Amino acid sequence: LEEGEGILELHPNGYGFLRGTENNYARERSDPFVPGTMIERFGLRQGVHIKAMVQEARRQQGPRVREILDVDGMPPEDYPEVKSFETLTAVNPEEWLRLECGRQPLTNRVIDLLAPVGKGQRALIVSPPRSGKTIMLQDIASGISTNHPDVKLIVLLIDERPEEVTDMRRNILGGEVVASSLDMDVESHVRLSQLAVDRARRLAEMGQDVFLMLDSITRLARAFNKWVGRSGRGGATMTGGLDIKAMDIPKKLFATARAFHEGGSLTVVGTALVDTNSRMDEAIFQEFKGTGNMELVL
């Protein structure tokens, strides 16, 4: 047996796998298998970080988890006592996240003055193309990692250009960058976005403050639109070629942002594209308009 670790991804049939964090939670043949009985016994949820003793691969079987050592830093026996995300009490964001760090960048100072971000905020940055939203996100991320090192920063990039992903990884030092770039398929976008948000939820349940940046909600919704049509889950089509059911999960992901009365918070800052001359993008923006509790228009 050797020690292994990873983020738990559940399968609809009840078993799961531990995905490595260094490679965008990608599916690998070497990922340890977690039996369903173990998941039931400890009440494990998707997105928890597990350290375990893993049995090496044999003949036809891949590596298997034999014993769980810890779940997000606590003994597995204690994990069932952690309240689930849905049962915690959501309250208005009250604690301020200061972004200004020194004289540069000015953006952060302006955000602090005009549209301050609190722990548990659900913020939407609305921007036309080429208006500098990517640089703005990097500035916000550096403000968070400089001023609030205790806040867990996760940057989720969906359908972005590969060179932009590299640029983000180089510039965001205090956080985790999870990306499904342009060259990945729709299933990858859908799976990764749900897994990353589940990871953020599990941390918030533990009483941690999490800051999740989502670039961009528009591309995420487009990916779900294709996926819904392909998987036969779709319904009627609305304006701009948007499926009625396409927005269900993206809205749910964006709506996970909240502060908890019991302690812990999940802040989500998402970007939405406008003025792209695409009717679908406009329809997506209209769907998200008003769902957040802070909007910043560039």
Structure tokens at 136: 């703005």
- Is 232 a domain residue? yes
In this prediction the pTM is 0.91
What pLDDT is recorded for position 244?
A: 82
Q: Which amino acid is at 149?
A: P
Element (H, E) at 197: helix 186-205
> Do 142 and 208 belong to one domain?
yes
> Do 129 and 212 belong to one domain?
yes
Decide which of 56, 80, 104 is a domain's last residue.
80
Q: Find the CATH number of the domain harbouring 233.
A: 3.40.50.300
What pLDDT is recorded for position 58?
A: 85
- Is 85 a domain residue? no
Buried-exposed string 229-244: b where 16+ CB fall within 10 A, e elsewhere: beeeebeeeeeeebbe
Smallest CA-to-CA distance from 254 within 238, 267, 241, 243 is with: 267
> Do 278 and 146 belong to one domain?
yes
> Do 44 and 189 belong to one domain?
no
What pLDDT is recorded for position 22?
A: 83
> Do 151 and 189 belong to one domain?
yes
Decide which of 19, 45, 80 is a domain's last residue.
80
What pLDDT is recorded for position 233?
A: 65
> Do 150 and 232 belong to one domain?
yes
> Do 99 and 237 belong to one domain?
yes
- C-alpha torsion angle, residues 255, 261, 267, 272 (rounded to 10): 30
Q: Find the CATH number of the domain harbouring 49.
A: 2.40.50.140
pLDDT digits (tens), the chain, 298 positions: 889 889 999 999 989 999 988 888 888 888 899 999 998 999 899 999 999 999 888 888 889 999 999 998 889 898 888 898 899 999 999 999 999 988 888 989 999 999 999 999 999 999 998 888 888 999 999 999 999 999 999 999 999 899 999 998 998 888 889 998 899 899 989 999 999 999 999 999 999 999 999 988 999 999 998 888 776 666 678 777 888 888 888 999 899 999 999 888 999 999 999 998 889 889 888 888 888 889 999 8
CB 284 within 8 A of CB 221: yes
Decide which of 51, 80, 109 is a domain's last residue.
80
> Do 269 and 177 belong to one domain?
yes
Radius of gyration of the chain from its Cα atoms, rounded to whole angstroms: 20
Residue 31: DSSP 8-state: S
- Is 143 a domain residue? yes
What pLDDT is recorded for position 274?
A: 92
What pLDDT is recorded for position 234?
A: 61
> Do 114 and 11 belong to one domain?
no
> Do 16 and 137 belong to one domain?
no
- The sign of the torsion formed by the CA atoms of 62, 66, 69, 71 equals positive
- Is 238 a domain residue? yes
> Do 114 and 47 belong to one domain?
no
Smallest CA-to-CA distance from 107 within 131, 73, 76, 71 is with: 131
The total number of structural domains that make up the chain: 2
- Is 188 a domain residue? yes
> Do 191 and 259 belong to one domain?
yes
Render 220-282 in DSSP notation, one character per residue: HHHHHHHHHHHTT----B-GGG-BTTTTHHHHHHHTT-EEETTS-EEEEEEEEE-SSS-HHHH
Residues 6+ apart with CB under 8 A from 271: 124, 125, 126, 127, 133, 137, 214, 215, 216, 217, 218
Structural domain span for residue 175: 90-297
- Is 38 a domain residue? yes
- Is 206 a domain residue? yes
